[in-house]
Structure 1
Amino acid sequence: MELVWLEDLSALAEYGSFVRAAEARHITQPAFSRRVRSLENWMGVELFIRTPHGATLTEAGRQILPGAQEAARHLYRLRNEAQEVAGVSARSLKFAATHSLSFTFFPRWLRSSEAGAPIEAVQLHSDSMAVCEQMLIHGQVQFLLCHRHPDVPPLLAPDQFISKKVAEDVLVPLASASSHFDTSPAALPYLAYTHESGLGRIVAHRLRGKEDYLHLQPLFSSHLAAVLMSMALESKGVAWLPKSLTEQELHEGRLVRALDESWDIPLEVHLTRPKANLGQSAEAFWARAGMDPPSVT
């Protein structure tokens, strides 16, 4: 049994595709498939039903998935506890944060969260929402920092994870100030988020049922808000972008509103953690975080 096999099980259950899960795990698809098969051989049962359209959990797979995820988290907690006792990671904190929050928001927020108690070391892993969720599920990080919307519940099990609001943000439909395309709702070139993006889930929820009115045809897609912002600055279309990421571009007038404020999407920035004890330094940080949530709106 190898720890990576448990992580692979969770990733394939999440993505439902060997190709996409392998990409998220940063290995080749054949190597990923061999590792999943090795886990099934060790278990003595098939955990996935394989079809040309993807992979779904068998009844046995569904039964063991929560326990496998908890086992992976427990092993990482054991490592963290051992390192903390040995003084290797005395005040080290491990975060996963979505790209849109990593660039500008995270450094400012972390400074304000220290609250007179300096953190000796921080590890920040920046990736898509889907990968960040997997890192938290597997116990590879202690905290997940991401955007949330009240009407779009997270994929994390509420009986295993808790979160608190630490800031507010807003998604604004923006385009380049030099854009020459018709900005009427029936003629907007659209820069979209992919399915790996947490912001993509939120925008898709907001626009559901509005497609006929807006006539949005995605011309380009990415899970990175920064990439969509770059495309918008190049006059390639309209993107719903976090104000926390685009403050400078808005201030300089390089990005402007493409639709009125009724199309804005209010967001919350949440810090999420497992319910299990995280160790002394992480628990102390959690207790301080979220006091007087700042607003970036």
Structure 2
Amino acid sequence: MELIWFEDYLALAETLNFSRAAQLRHVTQPAFSRRIRALEGWIGADLFARTTHGVTLTPAGEHFRHQAEVLTRALHQLRRDTLEVSGRGVRPLSIAATHALSFTFFPKWVRGNERVLALGNLSLISDSMQACEQMMLRGDAQFLLCHHHKDASSRIESGQFKSIVVGVDTLVPLSAPTGNGVARWWLHGGEPVKYLAYSAQSGLGRIVAAQWGAKDRAFALETVFTSHLAATLLSMARAGDGVAWLPRMLAEEDISAGLLVEAGSPELEIPIEIRLFRPVASQSKAVEAIWSAFERG
């Protein structure tokens, strides 16, 4: 058994697509398929059901997933800790943060926490929510900073991680205004409104879908553009291309300047938290020191 087999399995369990998972693992699809077969041979059971309609996890595959995540992260953590003890593996402590928070919330938040800055050697990794989750599950980052809503799905809300609330924000449906200052696109019953949507990799997209993805909502949306970057959707909304649910923290300058206006009633706003996640298991002294500083801050 090889550790890369576990990592391959987790990539395929996440994507349920052999070609996409092979790309993520930087290997050809035939080689990737052979490694998945080798893992299944070692276990003695099929982990994936392969059909003409796609790939799904078998019951054995579902059972295997949780512990595979735990073991993979623990083995990587063991190697890093051992290298640090040997004096050969000291590296910056990493916070994985979604793009929107990396540019808006993170700089002021860290600068305002003197205890964290005093500890030093802290590295920010900015990416989509999906990529940040994968980093946390692999143990490539010690912390995750992200938007959070209780109704939205997440891969890091199991018993493997704990979190604290470090800020709050609101997702607001916004549109460019017309000449008289009202929203060019307004969410109401009738004709579908042009919608600037988040992609599947986006945590904000999951939150919007959890709140307003139901078919029985009082307004109709026609998706005309998709991106996992809130900043891109903001630019498109400012240009008048449709409505986007954007973090108020990101859009506040455009709102104040009158470049964006609310595109619906206040009931369509979505209150969200900004949370910092870390593994439940005991971490290195440096990680525990920074976590304590964040808790006190």
TM-score by length of 1: 0.86
Q: Distance in 2 between matches of 1:104 and 1:31?
A: 41
Q: CA RMSD in A?
A: 2.6
| Residue-by-residue CA offset, 1:79-137 (whole Å, 9 max, x unaligned) | 33134334556573112111221222222222223436524322322222222112111
Q: Which runs of 5+ in 2 are unaligned?
A: none
> How far 1:219 moved relative to its partner?
1.0
Equivalence for 1:295: none
> How far 1:264 moved relative to its partner?
0.7
2:210 corresponds to 1:205: yes
1:191-270 correspondence runs (5 A): 191-209=196-214, 212-270=217-275
| Residue-by-residue CA offset, 1:22-81 (whole Å, 9 max, x unaligned) | 455566655543442343344444321112332222333233322221221112212331
Equivalence for 2:81: 81
> How far 1:146 moved relative to its partner?
0.8
Q: Distance in 2 between matches of 1:182 and 1:240?
A: 12
Question: Quick check: 157-166 or 62-71, which moved more?
Answer: 62-71
2:292 corresponds to 1:287: yes
Q: What fraction of aligned residue pairs are identical, expressed as a percent?
A: 47
> How far 1:234 moved relative to its partner?
1.9
Please tell me whether the aligned partners of residues 163 and 271 of structure 1 are also in contact (alpha carbons under 8 angstroms): yes
Question: Quick check: 34-43 or 101-110, which moved more?
Answer: 34-43
Q: Distance in 1 between matches of 2:233 and 2:31?
A: 32
Please tell me whether the aligned partners of residues 145 and 269 of structure 1 are also in contact (alpha carbons under 8 angstroms): yes
| Residue-by-residue CA offset, 1:137-193 (whole Å, 9 max, x unaligned) | 121111111111123353335321111111101101112235884535234211111
Q: Distance in 1 between matches of 2:149 and 2:157?
A: 16
1:56-135 correspondence runs (5 A): 56-87=56-87, 92-115=92-115, 117-135=117-135
Q: Distance in 2 between matches of 1:64 and 1:133?
A: 18
Q: Distance in 2 between matches of 1:191 and 1:9?
A: 33
2:15 corresponds to 1:12: no
After superposition, the Cα gap between the structure-2 partners of 1:45 and 1:100, relative to the gap in structure 1 and judged at 3 Å, is: same
> How far 1:14 moved relative to its partner?
2.5
Q: Distance in 2 between matches of 1:26 and 1:96?
A: 21
After superposition, the Cα gap between the structure-2 partners of 1:84 and 1:251, relative to the gap in structure 1 and judged at 3 Å, is: farther
Equivalence for 1:175: 175
Amino acid at match of 2:256: H
Equivalence for 1:39: 39
Equivalence for 2:195: 190
**Secondary structure at 2:5 match in 1:** helix
Q: Distance in 1 between matches of 2:77 and 2:204?
A: 29
After superposition, the Cα gap between the structure-2 partners of 1:226 and 1:4, relative to the gap in structure 1 and judged at 3 Å, is: farther
After superposition, the Cα gap between the structure-2 partners of 1:35 and 1:225, relative to the gap in structure 1 and judged at 3 Å, is: farther
Q: Which runs of 5+ in 1 are unaligned?
A: 293-297
Amino acid at match of 2:15: Y
Please tell me whether the aligned partners of residues 169 and 266 of structure 1 are also in contact (alpha carbons under 8 angstroms): yes
> How far 1:286 moved relative to its partner?
0.9
Equivalence for 1:154: 154
Q: Distance in 2 between matches of 1:208 and 1:85?
A: 49
Q: Distance in 2 between matches of 1:85 and 1:46?
A: 39
**Secondary structure at 2:131 match in 1:** helix
The total of aligned residue pairs comes to 292
Amino acid at match of 2:239: E
